[in-house]
Amino acid sequence: MLKISAAVFLIAGFFLAGKWASSVQEKRVDILNEIMLMLNITESRLRHSHLPVADLLRILCENAGLSGLGFIKSCLERVCFGEPFPDAWRKSIECETEFCSLLSEISVSLADFGADIGATDLESQLSGCAYYKELVARELELQREKSMKYKKLFPPLGLMLGISAAIIIV
């Protein structure tokens, strides 16, 4: 009886590990979608409203579609306390360890994005937005493909590994 219970828990554990691995990949896609939304909002606000950086950050913080990007709120707080925007942006991104571990390459590029906003002329800022949107769009497409593949692969693989381990134990 004890071996059967152990086998069931082992199978369930491996299956849940597979589900977790596929959910991590889906989270990458969700965050990249939010980054694309942030870049689109930033570009349109710069193009049409010519907002200062602090006002732009407030608008981004108020947008419910960007709730997964906690570094925006952190950056706004730092800017409100007098820290220069590029430094506040970079530090806010670097402090988001989960974000940096999920999307290490994009987090570095996104940190560089903050150096362009509010520091150059409008055309340079808009071309920077277009560049980073293209960069994120490529990564988003890659991660979507991986997500579709891993969503179908990891849970059954975890189940099969769990069954294999259970057979070895029993």
Kindly state the tokens that stand for 143: 């991660």
Percent of the chain at pLDDT above 70?
99
pLDDT score recorded for residue 36? 92
CA distance between the termini of the chain: 11
DSSP 92: H
pLDDT one-digit tens code per residue, 100-109: 777 778 788 8
What does the mean pLDDT of the chain come to? 84
Quick one: which of 47, 109, 114 has its CA closest to 74? 114
Residue 26 contacts residue 109 (beta carbons within 8 Å): no
Distance CA 63, CA 169 (A): 52
DSSP 66: G
Distance CA 9, CA 16 (A): 10
Neighbours of 46 (CB within 10 A): 19
pLDDT score recorded for residue 37? 92
Give residue 93's Cα distance to chain centre. Answer: 11
Rama region for 82: left / alpha / beta (φ>0; ψ in -120 to 50; rest): left
Quick one: which of 111, 116, 109, 117 has its CA closest to 137? 109
pLDDT one-digit tens code per residue, 34-76: 999 989 988 888 888 877 888 888 888 888 888 888 888 888 8
pLDDT one-digit tens code per residue, 116-142: 777 777 788 788 888 989 988 998 998
Residue with tokens 């299956």: 15
